[in-house]
């Protein structure tokens, strides 16, 4: 089965603290994973993709095939990071589609 699981509905941290948003996936093929973000009153948008191994807004995510995980990390959280974060798996069914996790709300307190 193709599935993305984000175990935490809400993650609350203080400004400057490290952040890790968890994502686990189930997929028989070679996984392509992404993080999408939705800031307050804004639309859902792509944050980063595992292929590029880039850091966007200080966030990184490493694909761990052994643990079937793609956790999103940032060493020092900022208040502007407060948002809803969705992990997504891209699968090649009917051309291609995204399977989203349920999302984790990150709240960064001053």
- Of 31, 101, 106, 108, the residue at the interface with another protein (CB under 8 A) is 101
Q: For residue 84, what are the CA distances in angstroms to 42, 46, 74, 75?
A: 10, 12, 15, 18
Helix (H, G, I), strand (E, B) or coil at 22: coil
| Gap between the Cα atoms of 74 and 90, Å rounded | 23
Shorter beta-carbon distance to another protein: residue 3 or 16:
3
- Of 11, 13, 44, 56, the residue at the interface with another protein (CB under 8 A) is 44
- Of 43, 52, 67, 110, the residue at the interface with another protein (CB under 8 A) is 43
Q: Which residue do the tokens 């990071």 mark?
A: 81
Shorter beta-carbon distance to another protein: residue 19 or 101:
101
27 touches another protein (CB under 8 A): no
């Amino acid at each position: 089965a193709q599935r993305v699981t984000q175990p935490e509905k809400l993650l609350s941290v203080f400004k400057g603290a490290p952040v890790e948003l968890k994502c686990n996936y189930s997929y028989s093929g070679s996984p392509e994973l992404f993080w999408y973000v939705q800031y307050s009153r804004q639309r859902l948008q792509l944050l980063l993709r595992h292929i590029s191994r880039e850091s966007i807004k200080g966030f990184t995510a490493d694909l761990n095939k052994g643990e079937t995980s793609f956790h999103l990390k940032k060493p020092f959280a900022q208040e502007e990071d407060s948002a809803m974060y969705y992990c997504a798996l891209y699968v090649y069914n009917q051309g291609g589609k995204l399977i989203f996790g349920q999302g984790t709300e990150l709240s960064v307190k001053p």
